[in-house]
Amino acid sequence: MLDIDYLEDEAFESVEEIVSQFIVKIGDQKIKIRITKDANKHFQFVNSHYYQGSKQADPYIAYIANFPSEKIAIMNAKLQIVSSYNPEDKNGVWIENDSF
């Protein structure tokens, strides 16, 4: 695997390496989880969908950006998915993440 430093260039605002990607299914929804690592060796996650319960004004989106390990990033991606999901909420919806 090439070193991410080879992509450093003043034209790029940031460079991230895709470390791993997963697909999970919760209820009828498939959700992709992408784990990346930046040039500072911090790990991030992004999920393809966010859950919005019928009593929530907005979907739950975690805003912690940097994690010290891939494992902790994965654990936080999972937490974002399951923490607000309510299978008994028939009016809850999954919102697609346009930035995925």
pLDDT at 97: 95
- Report whether 65 contacts 44 (CB < 8 A): yes
Instruction: Report d(CA 31, CA 97) in Å as an integer.
Output: 10
- Give the mean model confidence (pLDDT) for residues 2-21: 85
| Per-residue pLDDT tens digits for 65-74 | 899 999 999 9
- Report whether 88 contacts 35 (CB < 8 A): no
pLDDT at 1: 52
Tokens found for residue 77: 């991606």
Q: What is the mean pLDDT of the chain?
A: 92
